[in-house]
Chains A and B, each alone.
Chain A
Amino acid sequence: MNLPDLGVGIVWLPGLEATIASSLDAWDLIEVEPQAFWTKAGARDDGRGNEPFRLNEGAFEQLCAQRRPVLVHSVGYAVGGSTPSDARNLPALRATFDRLKPAWWSEHASLQTTGCGEDRRALGFLMPPIQSRSSVDTIVDNIRRLQDDFGLPFAFETGVNYLRPRPGELPDSEFWGSIAERAGCGILLDLHNIWANERNGRQSVASVVEGLPLERVWEMHLAGGQPYKGYWLDAHSDLPPDELLALARRVVPQLPALHALVFEIVPDYLVHAGLDVGDLVRCGGVLHEIWSLRGSACVASSTETITREECDVLSVGDAALPSPEMWGTQIRHAVDRSAPSVDAPIDDPAVGIYRDLVDAVRMGTIADALPLSTRYLLLARGEDFFKALLQTYWSLHAPEAFMSEEARAFAEFLAEKDLLPHLDELLAFELAAHRAEMSGKVQRVHFTCDPNRFIQALKAGRLPEALPELEVEVEVTPHVEME
């Protein structure tokens, strides 16, 4: 595969734009997670239904204005499951590729959804696939379809997996190596993921690297993580720790076809970790030093092409493992509190970790997308009450992939209850603001109090004082012009 050497890059996410622009000299490329910059097209004002996804043109213009090569790291069309992902991703991905012209793109060899048609449910988190021969078959088929659809070089990411290896499963290296060889695709070696896997009791980094077809490793991700209840989490919460950088210095020289080295961090953690532009510039410098080592210690890969027949030998334990379809059902039961029970639930201590992490994403999404209502409920009724509400909501509603959809579902759940004065009006206002931005159209909502006093009090972090009755029609205007 004749791919360009792009160099050192950083992930591009909402909230990171200004920091990256200020540290741009440190980065040779930018890797965008495109779904973070898509919205539902808003063909219907209420945002319901299966509208196509639409690119946020302003965000894409800002990305292109950085004048750096762009890679696309998709987070909405994972290839690790037997369930067809949401097909609405395809035209939006195509539009993204047309716009950004990436040299290659990547996705996760993970599960994001289960079920089909009306029964399809998002899992709310990237979940690990079952590592069986059948699963390899499924993932290879998924990747080949994407290769046929787009005609663009594709690499899958080696995922983090907090579960213990199950008897009969393929080791991580054989699993990923088989997929890459049979699909003829690249590998995005997420070094922090496989380091976290080793720390959490799975295959060692050295063993994984030794077992992979290294000539297929096109890209590497580096990140920081954090401890949680005895596990090391792939949280993208800090700069890469020294131990991981030392590992990178040992692994990168073994990679003959590494074309990009990308640092990942979640925007909210940038602030929490107290990082500034100078820290990012220094990180970019360290990564350039590591990048310069690539391929300097290459030896012929010991991993030969793995044929279908050899996969059969490798996976003699397949009969003892659930099918990919059954695994999807078991995974959903493990993490989705609204899912029906299953006969053979996953018996692993990390199930509790995954539930915690899914809960945190859903709580964060609501806090982020419905900030005023969240604050109103916290101030008026307290955290325990709010969390009890969330528990009830989760028992009724599966996660939603898009934050706007999760916010709308939770707002509808709350609006059915008579919890606080004017809460239903506040929720309607927040959803109207979403719709205004997504559709580019003015939205109208009704208040029976002074919205100015109400909202300003919440923004100041206090409950509003007595609000006299007042009939107010609020016209919520978008601040961007949509096409």
Chain B
Amino acid sequence: MGIEMKHALATQKDNVVRVSVPAEILFDFKKFAGIQKDILGRLGCAACTSGHDIRWDITRNFVVDIKGQIHESAPRGW
């Protein structure tokens, strides 16, 4: 899903382009995150757990993979 600039709200005026973007575009990361969680699901309180939060590791490992470096599957400290 991409941001489509074809939905211009107005013709260019003073060299300003106006576009409409759905908020959920921010979190179209299903392939990366592996679970479906909408925006509101990412804004409330975190889950009740007394352990290691893995969300940072998921983000970091994705970037490491993209850059072609060694993938670390386990959170650091293990």
Interface on A for B, CB 8 Å cutoff? 11, 13-16, 18, 33, 35-39, 56, 58-59, 73, 75-76, 108, 125-126, 159-160, 162, 193, 196, 225-229, 233-237, 264, 266-272, 356-357, 360-361, 363-369, 371-372, 374-375, 378-379, 383, 401-404, 407, 429-430, 432-434, 436-438, 443, 450-452, 455-456, 459, 461-462, 470-480
CB-contact partner of B49 in A227, A266, A470, A472, under 8 A: A266
Of all chain B residues, which has the CB nearest A160?
Answer: B50
- Given contacts A369-B43, A402-B45, A470-B17, A378 and B63 within 8 Å (CB-CB): yes
Q: How many A-B residue pairs have CB under 8 A?
A: 242
Interface residues of B in 1-44 (CB under 8 A from A): 2-5, 9, 14-29, 32-44
CB-contact partner of A33 in B48, B51, B62, under 8 A: B48
- Given contacts A356-B77, A375-B63, A459-B29, A367 and B58 within 8 Å (CB-CB): yes
Give the distance in Å from the alpha carbon of A18 to the alpha carbon of B15 in the complex: 45
Give the distance in Å from the alpha carbon of A33 to the alpha carbon of B44 in the complex: 10
**Chain A residues in 8 Å Cβ range of B62:** 375, 461
**Chain B residues in 8 Å Cβ range of A266:** 47, 49, 54
Flag if B40 contacts A437 (CB, 8 Å). yes
11 A-B pairs (CB sep. < 8 Å): A37-B40, A73-B48, A108-B48, A126-B48, A236-B47, A271-B35, A272-B34, A364-B46, A367-B60, A438-B40, A470-B17
Give the distance in Å from the alpha carbon of A56 to the alpha carbon of B51 in the complex: 26
Of all chain B residues, which has the CB nearest A405?
Answer: B43
Give the distance in Å from the alpha carbon of A14 to the alpha carbon of B35 in the complex: 9
Nearest Cβ on chain B to A166's Cβ, whole angstroms: 19
Nearest Cβ on chain A to B63's Cβ, whole angstroms: 5
Nearest Cβ on chain B to A153's Cβ, whole angstroms: 19
Of all chain A residues, which has the CB nearest B55?
Answer: A364
Nearest Cβ on chain A to B9's Cβ, whole angstroms: 6
Flag if B42 contacts A368 (CB, 8 Å). yes
With A39-B44, A360-B54 given, can you name 18 additional A-B contacts, CB distance below 8 Å? A13-B47, A36-B47, A37-B41, A59-B40, A225-B51, A234-B50, A235-B50, A268-B55, A272-B34, A361-B46, A365-B55, A367-B55, A369-B42, A379-B67, A437-B39, A473-B18, A477-B21, A478-B23
Flag if B34 contacts A271 (CB, 8 Å). yes
Chain B, interface residues (CB within 8 Å), range: 35 or more
Across chains A and B, which 4 residue pairs bring their CB atoms closest together, nearest first? Answer: A235-B51, A14-B41, A364-B55, A461-B66
Give the distance in Å from the alpha carbon of A363 to the alpha carbon of B52 in the complex: 11
- Given contacts A59-B40, A459-B28, A433 and B23 within 8 Å (CB-CB): yes
Of all chain B residues, which has the CB nearest A159?
Answer: B50
- Given contacts A38-B45, A367-B58, A235 and B19 within 8 Å (CB-CB): no
**Chain B residues in 8 Å Cβ range of A237:** 51-52, 54
Give the distance in Å from the alpha carbon of A38 to the alpha carbon of B14 in the complex: 41
